[in-house]
Amino acid sequence: SYVLTQPPSVSVAPGKTASITCGGDNIGSKSVYWYQQKPGQAPVLVIYYDSDRPTGIPERFSGSNSGNTATLAISRVEGGDEADYYCQVWGRSSDPVVFGGGTKLTVL
């Protein structure tokens, strides 16, 4: 089955840019989705089709995807951005939804 690899944690100072990576074999050939999950809340889709933002998601959130790595970037990080972030791709019919292991973003 297809495997997505994320760093367990990323720390960033307020106002700086956080980059969260998602590694996968030739992931650049797939569409990547990113979700934000805060404690006690449901996940929220923040990026779809590699780099598109749903309505209501701030422009500070951006995505890119090439080669074996997709990246979620959060600029001008705020305390409210502290959350777990997950990447996701569509796999084969036998394993259609693949999530990365998640990255905990800490704002210092």
Shortest reach from residue 76's CB to another protein, in Å: 24
46 close to 36: Cβ distance less than 8 angstroms? yes
Q: Report d(CA 93, CA 41) in Å as an integer.
A: 29
The reply on whether position 14 binds another protein by CB under 8 A is no
Using CA atoms, how far residue 83 sits from 27, 36, 63, 80, 86, in Å, is 24, 6, 17, 8, 10
Please report whether residue 3 would count as binding another protein according to CB under 8 A: no
Name which of residues 56 to 75 contact another protein (CB under 8 A): none
Q: Which of 72, 81, 83, 102 binds another protein (CB under 8 A)?
A: 102
Calpha distance 29→11 (Å, rounded): 29
Q: Which stretch binds another protein (CB under 8 A): 12-20, 21-29, 61-69, 80-88?
A: 80-88
How many whole angstroms separate alpha carbon 93 and alpha carbon 95? 5
Which residue lies nearer to another protein by CB, 10 or 44?
44
Query: Which residues contact another protein by CB under 8 A?
Result: 33, 35, 37, 41-45, 48-49, 52, 54, 84, 86, 88, 93-102
